[in-house]
């Protein structure tokens, strides 16, 4: 089983595409919604004009948003097989301003990850459909506390090259995933520059059903059911430089983040599908690193009142390898 240098399997990348969409975009939605005046008579939404621009400018306690992301990259591992991946996701939801310093929200997201391993055609396609609730409390002018909890459904399609059979072993698998995070951030803007220092704890629990490969004769394998739990910490700093015009804002940025995994991910138990008394084999994750360091170089372009376009280059390194990738995000408020 392949993971990247941060210990992320295709499952992790699929649902984390959605988790990042909710967390990364939340601060900007938080700022926009928190700074807007509440409708004194509660009728701000009812009196809003029909156009999206008019709704964005209306005093409101509710903000509706939608977004999408693309992430693709390549992993270089020490002595292991070449891995390429692409991840995409779409998400949407609504934020509610409960108080001037408290915002709650919820949303739905769909994530997809395609991972190619080696040069023989081995690949995995992973789909994740998740729902989340989240909140942000502004504890001070520059201090934010944020939390998120979600649940989702996972589906896998795998294709593994079998040299013995000169063909592919095919498999399908499903599972459930529960995840959550809690974090604190210090955000400060001075003139045309902004900086953010943050820390976050993330936890997840995935239960995957057993499945049996087909199409590879006696080389077909049976994968036992597995329950995997993870707990990670993230510490990071982000610097941003803001250049604004009457209708647009451009903000190049740099982000550095350290990630620590507190426990080693569980391995997978497999047997031969056609053997009545097949021995059991334990397969460990390839390329897993307990600690990793990532660097993001990117920029944000805000157009009008609610459209955000972000692009970034990401490089991450761990004790067992490194990876590089590009990410593109699009988010809008209504």
The predicted-structure confidence for 62-116, as pLDDT tens digits, reads as follows 888 888 888 887 766 554 556 787 888 888 899 999 998 899 999 999 989 998 8
Q: Within its chain, how far is the Cα of 139 from the centroid? A: 26
Mean pLDDT in residue range 120-131: 91
- Residue 82 has what DSSP assignment? -
State the pLDDT at residue 81. Answer: 55
CB 119 within 8 A of CB 91: no
How far apart CA 30 and CA 32 sit, in angstroms, is 6
Mean pLDDT in residue range 6-31: 53
Mean pLDDT in residue range 317-332: 80
State the pLDDT at residue 1. Answer: 47
Q: Percentage helix, strand, coil, to 5, in the chain?
A: 10, 65, 25
State the pLDDT at residue 263. Answer: 79
Among the ranges given (89-103, 282-296, 310-324), the one the predictor scored with the smallest mean pLDDT: 282-296
CB 287 within 8 A of CB 264: no
**pLDDT tens-digit readout, 181-190:** 999 999 998 9
Instruction: Give buried/exposed letters for 144-161 (b at 16+ CB in 10 A, else e).
Output: bebbbebebebebebbbb
How far apart CA 227 and CA 79 sit, in angstroms, is 28
Pairing state between β 122-138 and 143-162 = antiparallel
Q: Model pTM?
A: 0.78
How far apart CA 201 and CA 106 sit, in angstroms, is 20
- Structure confidence at residue 164 as a pLDDT band (50, 70, 90): confident
Instruction: Give buried/exposed letters for 254-265 (b at 16+ CB in 10 A, else e).
Output: ebebebebeeeb
| CB-based burial label for 140 (10 Å; 0-12, 13-18, 19+) | exposed
**pLDDT tens-digit readout, 209-231:** 999 999 888 899 999 999 988 89
How far apart CA 332 and CA 301 sit, in angstroms, is 12
* pLDDT tops 50 at residue 7: no
* pLDDT tops 70 at residue 28: no
State the pLDDT at residue 165. Answer: 86
């Amino acid at each position: 089983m392949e993971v990247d240098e941060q210990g992320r399997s295709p499952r992790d990348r699929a649902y984390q595409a959605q988790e990042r969409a909710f967390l990364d975009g939340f601060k900007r939605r938080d700022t926009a919604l928190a700074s807007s005046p509440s409708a004194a008579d509660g009728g701000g939404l009812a009196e809003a004009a029909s156009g999206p621009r008019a709704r964005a400018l209306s005093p409101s306690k509710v903000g509706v948003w939608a977004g999408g992301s693309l992430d693709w990259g390549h992993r270089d591992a020490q002595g292991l097989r070449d891995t390429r991946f692409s991840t995409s996701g779409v998400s949407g939801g609504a934020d509610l301003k409960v108080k001037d310093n408290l915002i709650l929200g919820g949303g739905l997201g769909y994530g997809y990850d395609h991972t190619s391993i080696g040069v023989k055609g081995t690949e995995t396609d992973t789909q994740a459909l998740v729902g989340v609730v989240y909140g942000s409390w502004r504890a001070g002018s520059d201090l934010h506390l944020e939390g998120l909890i979600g649940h989702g459904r996972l589906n896998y399609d795998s294709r593994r090259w079998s040299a013995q059979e000169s063909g592919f072993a095919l498999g399908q698998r499903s599972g459930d995933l529960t995840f959550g995070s809690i974090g604190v951030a210090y955000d400060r803007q001075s003139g045309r520059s902004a900086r953010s220092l943050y820390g976050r704890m993330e936890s997840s629990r995935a239960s995957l059903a057993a499945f049996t490969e087909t199409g590879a004769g006696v080389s077909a394998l049976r994968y036992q059911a597995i329950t995997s739990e993870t707990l990670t910490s993230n510490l990071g700093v982000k610097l941003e430089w803001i250049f604004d015009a009457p209708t647009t804002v451009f903000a190049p940025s740099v982000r550095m983040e350290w990630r620590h995994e507190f426990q080693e991910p569980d391995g997978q138990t497999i047997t031969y599908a056609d053997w009545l008394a097949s021995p059991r084999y334990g397969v460990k994750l390839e390329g897993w690193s307990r600690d990793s360091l990532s660097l993001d170089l990117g920029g944000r372009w805000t157009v009008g009142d609610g459209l955000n376009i972000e692009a970034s280059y990401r490089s991450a390194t761990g004790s067992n390898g490194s990876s590089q990738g590009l990410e593109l995000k699009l988010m809008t408020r209504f």
